[in-house]
Structure 1
Amino acid sequence: MIEAELKAQVHNPEYVMGQLECMAEGRVEVYQDTYYDDPSGSLDARDQELRVRTIHGPTSRRSVLTYKGPRIDSESGSKPEHETHVDNPEAVHAILHGLGYVPALSFQKQCRNYEFTTRGRSMLATLVQVPEIEGTFLEVETLVSEEKELPSALDDVRAVMSELGIRGDDFTTELYTAAVAARRATEEAAHDRVSDDHR
């Protein structure tokens, strides 16, 4: 499957949430994501992702293993995606370690999910906050089975986001992983400078 997804920074989260609440009931969940790579970083170099996600809901917990291939659309960042539910995430972490993969990055996403059908497509809209990144983000996605379906799917996703008040300058293809890694690198450099000053 191919994830046809667009992401944007939200300047008025209350308005967007209000619009989404008219379309579906929101589901509050916290994602704990761990991204794996080999020690040489070859997956990242090839624009591939290998992730274990544990989703904490108000009354439940579930985990999924996800592989994403390289981007097939540079404007949206959409990627082929293969995902499966796992009953024992600890075992999956152990298997990946045993195969030589190491945790490259781990962080938390605070999400409010809305599932609805529009334009003949099942869609998922997610309002996202990452504690280490400033701002609120909106992701809207739908799945297609073939690459030739991607342009029309993205048009439908873009139309939904426009109805939610998202404008051209709001869109971004920056990955959360890149933003979190950059933030941590900045904080580490600042910590090192302070340590040097006190030597």
Structure 2
Amino acid sequence: MIEAELKAHVHAPEFVLRRLEERATGRAEVYQDTYYDNPAGGFTASDQELRVRTVHGPDETRSLLTYKGAKVDDASGSKPEHETRVTDPEATHAVLRGLGYAPVIAFEKRCRNYEFTAHGRPMLATLVQVPEIDGMFLELETLVVEESDLASALDDVRAVLQELGIGESDLTRELYTDAVRTTRARG
């Protein structure tokens, strides 16, 4: 699967929140993300990601192991994604360390997720605040099976963003991992 996703700075959070609430009921969740790499930094150098995410929601806590391949679209940064639920996150962390991977960064994301259908596609909109980064972000994604469907899917994502008051100038490709590293380096 390829995650056709765009991320944007949100300059009018109340407006975007109201528009999302018109589409679906939001679900507040807190993500605890830990990213791994091999000792040589091969994942980062080749634009790949290996992550363990624990999601704390109102009804449950669940954990996911995610691998994202290198981006297949430079403009959006969309990547192939493979994800599976894990029942024991501590064991998953131990397995990854045992295989020689090391945690390179961990941080928290405070999210409000909205699932809905638009333009004939299932969409996931996530309002995101990372305590270490100023501002609010909106991630909007849909999954595609074939790379040949990616451009069309991204057009549909852009259309929904426009409906939410998000323009092209609001889009960003900056990764949370990079922004958190920068904030921490400043001190």
Three-state SS of the structure 2 residue aligned to 1:115 is strand
Three-state SS of the structure 1 residue aligned to 2:107 is strand
Matched letter for residue 125 of structure 2: A
Question: Residue 57 of structure 2 aligns with which residue?
Answer: 57
Question: Residue 197 of structure 1 aligns with which residue?
Answer: none
- Compute the displacement of 1:59 (Å): 2.5
Give the whole-Å Cα distance in 1 for the aligned partners of 2:118 and 2:153: 11
Give the whole-Å Cα distance in 2 for the aligned partners of 1:94 and 1:104: 14
Three-state SS of the structure 2 residue aligned to 1:28 is strand
Which structure is larger by alpha-carbon Rg, 1 or 2? 1
Q: Structure 1 stretches of 5 or more lacking a match?
A: 188-199
Matched letter for residue 48 of structure 1: Q
Give the whole-Å Cα distance in 2 for the aligned partners of 1:155 and 1:59: 34
TM-score by length of 2: 0.99
- Compute the displacement of 1:103 (Å): 0.3
Question: Residue 194 of structure 1 aligns with which residue?
Answer: none
Aligned 1:105-116 pairs, distance under 5 A: 105-116=105-116
Question: Residue 88 of structure 1 aligns with which residue?
Answer: 88
Question: Residue 21 of structure 2 aligns with which residue?
Answer: 21
Question: Residue 9 of structure 2 aligns with which residue?
Answer: 9
Question: Residue 37 of structure 1 aligns with which residue?
Answer: 37
Matched letter for residue 48 of structure 2: Q
Question: Residue 184 of structure 1 aligns with which residue?
Answer: 184
Give the whole-Å Cα distance in 1 for the aligned partners of 2:147 and 2:134: 33
- Compute the displacement of 1:38 (Å): 1.0
Give the whole-Å Cα distance in 1 for the aligned partners of 2:155 and 2:168: 13
- Compute the displacement of 1:164 (Å): 0.2
Question: Residue 76 of structure 2 aligns with which residue?
Answer: 76
Question: Residue 137 of structure 1 aligns with which residue?
Answer: 137
- Compute the displacement of 1:72 (Å): 0.7
Question: Residue 101 of structure 2 aligns with which residue?
Answer: 101
Which stretches of structure 1, 4 residues or more, deviate above 6 A after TM superposition? none
Question: Residue 162 of structure 1 aligns with which residue?
Answer: 162
- Compute the displacement of 1:39 (Å): 1.5
Give the whole-Å Cα distance in 1 for the aligned partners of 2:185 and 2:137: 22
Give the whole-Å Cα distance in 1 for the aligned partners of 2:76 and 2:59: 34
State the identity as a percent. Answer: 67
- Compute the displacement of 1:168 (Å): 1.6
Give the whole-Å Cα distance in 2 for the aligned partners of 1:146 and 1:117: 19
Three-state SS of the structure 2 residue aligned to 1:22 is helix
